[in-house]
Amino acid sequence: MSESAKSALLDVLNGPDMYGATLGNRDELQLAAATEVAAQRSQQIAVLRQRMADEGITRIAALSDLVPLLFSHTTYKSYPESFVRDGRWRHLGVWLSALSTSPIDVEVDGCQDVDDWLARMHAAGHRVIASSGTSGKCSFLDASPADDDIFARNLPRASAWTLGITTGQNYQAIMVGPREATGRFARAYRAGEQAFAVAGEGAWLSRDPVLVADVNRLGHLRKRVAEGVATPSEIRDAQDEATRRQATAEMEYQALAKAVARVKGGGPAYVQGGWGRIYRLVTTCRELGIEAGGFPTGSVVVGGGGLKGTPVPPDFEAQIAEFFAPAKLANSYGMAECNAPWAQCPAGRFHCPPTTVPLILDKTATKLLSSPGETVAGRYACLDLTVDGRWGGIVSGDHVVAHFGICPCGLGNAPQISSVERYIDLPEGDDKLSCAGTIESYLGGFLADVIGPESE
């Protein structure tokens, strides 16, 4: 069954009903495809090969064999920050190649900065995904053109499935985010614009590129503060820069709010962005006196992502729905490390794409809890069989409730997720006190006080 297993699942993904299909042999197909993919990737990826040797795993005989082979998001930011800071691009390439399925042979002579490096990687067929963390250090995930293609194609398809619509350039699009950024979310927005916007053109929150170097600048400042060499004027400049950015963002939201007012008169609207940003847009609209409701019939709001850096009330989704009424809302569950997202069904649950092997683990990510027919709560991990440029096995920081039976919506037999929380947000006895700590704990508060919270 080996070669056919992954392609059979890919056929379902590419078919008409990837989230609602009933697959009689889903579990067998997924295990067979996992076996096949792991065998292939272990030939290509040095870190995976070593991990399998260390764990004494020669082939995937059961899903539990995947658990010790999963990578975490820290794997993809394990490069020393100095490589980027000091422009040691060759070293950064050596680092990335240990995690990539194809060799990295990219000319880096004269490379100016990290954005230049990313552009060169991109031109050489490595569609490296750079995503910013709260720490100011980016993760770099190698991705092939195939990864980019699957990702860009499937997010609009997931929203369409949830909303019961078809893709097609029929909407007045409001894109609540920057058009040009290296994070995967920006790629998703552009894919949404292409799939739904009239003439493939929407109104954007910003068309100025968001550079990785901007994210890194704060990282450099942190380092300089830690080393005790940052001057007061340097810190004040960073503070001024943060104030400027906030003012610019405010103007951008106001401009986009005016675009929102304009779409009320035309054809159906398509609003896409992170939930936190969409909520901020709604707030700005209200401040400008734009009335809630009255949007064209057939309008939709496609949200996603976390609420990073944006304070929102608990009922933010209801408030967004009320403002954009009668628009329907679509939600999905995904992460930068995976290609196809989980799509929300009429029962409110997220359905697993056929090419994702979900693994629900204990909190420490060492034990597989999930098995067929059960409902189980734990840490979300998966093997995304479609991931092509690197290993698709990843552990998330999310605590989910997953269901491995038939969904109440009655559509197909995909596993579902009904609740997602980040472990970092769960109550865990936060006053566990220790006398141990590094200079980082001194800087976090200082820089937050001076510059404000870091955001995406």
Partner 1 sequence: MSISTDQAEANALPVRHFVRGKLIEGPGTQIPGPAGRPLAVPPLDLDFLVWPRSRPGPAFDLRVEDAIGFLVDLGHELSLERNELLQEVVELLPGVSPFSASMVKGYLELLPGYFEQATLETEVRHAIGAADRWQVYEVGDGAPFAVRACPARLLHIIAGNGPGNAAMAVVRGTLSRSVNLIKLPSNDPFTAIAILRTMSRMAPGHPICESFAAAFWQGGDATVEPVLFSSQYFDKIVAWGGQAAIRNAARYLGPGLELISFDPKTSISMIGRSAHRDDLRDEVATLAASDVSTQLGCTNSRVQFVEGSVDEVDQYCEALVAALQKPRPQVDPARNPTPEAIWQEAEVLGHMQPLYRTWGHHDGTGLVIRSQEPVDFELTARTVNVVPVDHLTAAVRWINLATQTVGIYPPERKAELRDVLAAAGVQRLVPLGSASMVDSGNLGRPHDGMWPLHRLSRWVLDEGVQQ
231 contacts partner 1 (rule: CB under 8 A): no
Query: ∠ CA 262-265-269 to the nearest 5 degrees?
Result: 75
Distance CA 431, CA 161 (A): 44
If binding is defined by CB under 8 A, does position 441 make contact with partner 1? yes
Please state, as a whole number, how many other Cβ atoms lie within 10 Å of the Cβ of residue 258: 13
Tell which one of 379, 403, 412, 454 touches partner 1 (CB under 8 A).
379
By CB under 8 A, the count of residues binding partner 1 is 56
The residue among 278 and 383 lying less far from partner 1, judged by its C-beta, is 383
Give yes or no for residue 40 binding partner 1 (CB under 8 A).
no
* Helix extents (H) in 46-144: 46-55, 81-85, 89-97, 114-123
Residue 347 interacting with partner 1 (CB under 8 A): no
CB of 78 to partner 1, least distance (A): 4
Choose the stretch contacting partner 1; rule: CB under 8 A; options: 70-78, 148-156, 158-166, 181-189.
70-78
399 belongs to the binding site for partner 1 (CB under 8 A): yes
Structure-token match 């006190």, residue found: 433
Cα distance between residue 125 and residue 142, in whole Å: 10
The whole-angstrom separation of Cα 32 and Cα 30 is: 5
Residues 89-108 that bind partner 1 (CB under 8 A): 91, 94-95, 98-99
- Rounded to whole angstroms, how far apart are CA atoms 329 and 349? 13
Given the complex with partner 1, which of 73 and 277 has the nearer CB atom? 73
Q: Is 452 in the site for partner 1 (CB under 8 A)?
A: no
Among 15, 80, 168, 294, binds partner 1 (CB under 8 A): 80
Q: Does 75 bind partner 1 (CB under 8 A)?
A: yes
Applying CB under 8 A, which part among 124-132, 253-261, 263-271, 426-434 lies near partner 1?
Answer: 426-434
Query: Exactly one of 231, 233, 297, 434 binds partner 1 (CB under 8 A); which one?
Result: 434
Contact flag: residue 348 with partner 1 (CB under 8 A): no
226 binds partner 1 (CB under 8 A): yes
Dump the DSSP string for 196-249: HBGGG--EEEE-SPBPHHHHHHHHHHHHHHHTT---HHHHHHHHHHHHHHHHHH
Query: What would the two tokens of residue 365 be?
Result: 């990510």
Return all residues near 22 (Cβ < 8 A) that are at least 6 apart: 412, 413
What phi, psi does 90 have (nearest 5°)? -65, -40
Q: Which residues bind partner 1 (CB under 8 A)?
A: 46-47, 50-51, 71-72, 74-75, 77-82, 91, 94-95, 98-99, 137, 226-228, 362-365, 369, 376-379, 395, 399, 401, 419, 421, 426-442, 444-445
